[in-house]
């Protein structure tokens, strides 16, 4: 990073627009990485970028390409009127905060230090989770015995559970025990897999607290038809954020 902690962000090119609208590239994450390479050349390896930086980078690219105003549609929960609101992405960007990863977790004789996981890890986890969930949805329609269907469903749920464990392990930077630092990824994964439920929940809750600062707060809006005030979630859906 430059001394001032900032990097230049450039607008999307026509080729970026074409690449971003390729469904396969969106699914496997390459559309995001190619756009980041083009628009934020200071980020040399987008796959290795901490995922906590992703929202800020995408918002920066969107502002550079289309301006800071973004229109969102929402249905009023009171009268069902379809409303269109304009959101200032600069205000959204100012909300984003970096979790304090210097805040370690101390449990018994252990000190557990955390780190943000990379965009590549998040993308791989998302694809694996999507594939397992789709398999669970497809199983009832398969032409096979109920026993085989049950085996497939149980295997998919087991994979989803293992994926959650691996995500927690990926978020651990090192574990200090008896003044010795454990950084080996296999050893950390083994620790998370074999620890008791109380320890696992403690680690998961700590990660949840770290992530709270990265959440974008819901927008406070008012219906143009009935003046009803309500909250509207704002999420960065990469599939249509640049549409």
Q: What is the pLDDT of residue 42?
A: 92
How many domains does the chain fold into? 2
Domain presence at residue 150 = yes
In a domain, 3, yes or no: no
Cβ contact 48:119 at 8 Å: yes
Distance CA 128, CA 126 (A): 5
Residue 56 within any structural domain of the chain: yes
**Residue 86 falls within a domain, yes or no?**
yes
Residues 68 and 167 in one domain: no
Kindly state whether residues 207 and 223 are assigned to the same domain.
no
- Write out the residue range of the structural domain in which residue 223 sits: 14-96+215-232
Same-domain status, 138 and 67 = no
Element (H, E) at 71: strand 69-75
Which residues, 6+ apart, have CB-to-CB distance to 57 below 8 Å? 9, 36, 40, 43, 49
Query: Which residues are paired to 106 by β-bridges?
Result: 111
- Please tell me whether residues 109 and 202 are part of one structural domain: yes
Give the 3-state secondary structure percentages of the chain, helix then strand then coil, rounded to 5: 50, 15, 35
pTM of the model: 0.82
In a domain, 1, yes or no: no
**Is residue 56 within 8 Å of residue 93, measured between CB atoms?**
yes
Looking at residue 239, its pLDDT comes to: 65
Residues whose CB is less than 8 angstroms from the CB of residue 197 and which lie 6 or more positions away in sequence, other chains included: none
The continuous run of DSSP H or E covering 154 comes out as helix 146-170
Averaged over successive runs of 10 residues, the pLDDT of the chain (243 residues) comes to 82 86 81 92 93 91 93 91 92 87 88 94 90 85 84 87 92 92 94 93 91 81 92 78 65
Residues 201 and 109 occupy one common structural domain: yes
- 204 and 117 both lie in a single domain: yes
Does one domain contain both 199 and 221?
no
Same domain, 114 and 204: yes
Claim to verify: residue 148 and residue 202 sit in the same structural domain: yes
* Domain presence at residue 180: yes
Residue 153, in any domain of the structure: yes
Domain annotation covers residue 4: no
Residue 109 and residue 194 share a domain: yes
Do 130 and 78 lie in one domain? The reply is no
What is d(CA 200, CA 235) in angstroms, rounded to the nearest whole number?
A: 28
Residues 110 and 206 in one domain: yes
């Amino acid at each position: 990073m430059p001394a001032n902690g900032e990097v230049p962000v450039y607008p999307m090119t026509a080729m970026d627009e074409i690449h971003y609208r390729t469904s396969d590239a969106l699914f496997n994450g390459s559309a995001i990485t190619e756009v980041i390479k083009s628009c934020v050349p200071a980020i040399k390896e987008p796959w290795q970028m901490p995922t906590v930086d992703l929202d800020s980078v995408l918002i920066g690219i969107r502002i550079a390409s289309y301006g800071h105003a973004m229109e969102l549609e929402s249905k009023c929960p009171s009268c069902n009127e379809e409303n269109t609101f304009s959101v200032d992405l600069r205000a959204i960007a100012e909300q984003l905060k970096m979790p304090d990863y210097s805040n370690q977790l101390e449990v018994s004789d252990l000190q557990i230090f955390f780190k943000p996981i990379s965009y590549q890890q998040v993308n791989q986890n998302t694809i694996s989770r999507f594939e397992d969930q789709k398999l669970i949805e497809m199983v009832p329609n398969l032409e096979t015995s109920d026993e085989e269907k049950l085996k497939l469903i149980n295997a998919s749920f087991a994979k989803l559970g293992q994926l959650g464990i691996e995500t927690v392990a990926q978020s651990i930077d090192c574990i200090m025990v008896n003044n010795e630092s454990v950084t080996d990824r296999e050893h950390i994964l083994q620790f998370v897999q074999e620890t008791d439920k109380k320890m696992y929940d403690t680690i998961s809750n700590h990660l949840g607290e770290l992530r709270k600062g990265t959440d974008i707060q819901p927008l406070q809006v008012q219906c143009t038809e009935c003046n009803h005030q309500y909250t509207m979630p704002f999420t960065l859906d990469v599939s249509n954020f640049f549409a």
